[in-house]
Amino acid sequence: MMNDRPDLALIFDLDGTLLDSVYHHTLAWAHALDEASVVVPLWRLHRKIGMGGSLFTRALLRELGQAPDAGLADRLREAHGRHYRAMRDRIRPLPGAGELLAEVVAAGCATAVATSSPKRNLDGLYEQLAPPSAVRLVTADDVAAAKPSPALFQVAMAQLACAPGDCLVVGDSVWDVLAARRAGALAIGLRCGGYGDDELTRAGACRLYDDPAHLRKHLHELGIQG
């Protein structure tokens, strides 16, 4: 691995961490459920954003007291993706997101983005970050189980050739933090996805920042010098 700091890797979640897309995902799931005549309050949907789509639908149906229905789950995931892609023109990077990626790469850190979204949902969105070519991208297409499974982060670690103990995972949801801990990494929490400090710290986040711009100003607290 060609890197000035092979002993330190940063793995970033995407939705709600680098992209201001959490509430677009929430609305996309709401539209998908409306099509299936399933009524769920938006706040309940928001609480699950960050999970992989398969687990999201299973957990939601279980909470609604419905038996597992693979056909319905597939239809919901397809509709969610369709509605989300229709909103792509309104999705923007969070403040400082692209600059943060550029700075950690410039500082010599191995860097990856790991998202529970399939690659087809990212066209035109990931590119808004102008990520350096050194940044690896891992999507739901690369794993059998998405967050809170550790698989996404484990694949990213393997691609970066870094041990779990040398990795920091940056995410906005409890699912990111749980997946990071299961993968053996330290978790950094961002508030910009809508979770509270107490939830993120109880899940295991060791540091909290408002958004990518705030984290960028405090990279020295993580031992990263620009």
Report the C-alpha gap between 123 and 132 in whole angstroms: 17
Measured CA to CA, the distance from residue 31 to residue 168 in angstroms comes to 35
Domain 5-21+92-222: state its class: alpha beta
Task: Please tell me the pTM assigned to this model.
Answer: 0.92
Query: Looking only at Cα atoms, what is the longest distance across the chain?
Result: 54
Distances, alpha carbon 20 to alpha carbons 96, 125, 180, 193, in Å: 11, 10, 21, 8
Structure confidence at residue 70 (pLDDT): 85
**Residues carrying CATH 1.10.150.240, the chain:** 22-89
**What are 71-120's pLDDT values in tens digits?**
998 999 999 999 999 999 999 999 999 999 999 999 999 999 999 999 99
b/e per residue, 105-128, with b = 16+ CB within 10 A? bebbbbbbbbbbbbeebbeebbeb
pLDDT in tens, 131-186: 999 999 999 999 998 889 999 999 999 999 999 999 999 999 999 999 999 999 99
- Higher-pLDDT residue of 66 and 104 is 104
Give the CATH class of 22-89. Answer: mainly alpha
Residues of the chain with CATH 3.40.50.1000: 5-21+92-222
Which position has the token pair 């809508």? 194
CB burial of 199-208 (b: ≥16 within 10 Å; e: otherwise) equals: ebeebebebb
pLDDT of residue 153: 97
Between residues 21 and 39, the one the model is more confident about: 21
Tens of pLDDT, residues 40-62: 999 999 988 988 777 888 888 88
At 69, the pLDDT band (50, 70, 90 cuts) reads: confident
Q: What is the pLDDT of residue 111?
A: 98
- Provide CB contacts within 8 A for 106, sequence distance 6+: 132, 226
What tokens does 91 get?
A: 């999705």
Distance CA 221, CA 152 (A): 25
pLDDT tens-digit readout, 121-146: 998 999 999 999 999 999 999 999 88
DSSP class of 116: S
* Burial class of 45 by CB neighbour count within 10 A (0 to 12, 13 to 18, 19+): buried
pLDDT for residue 5 is more than 70: no
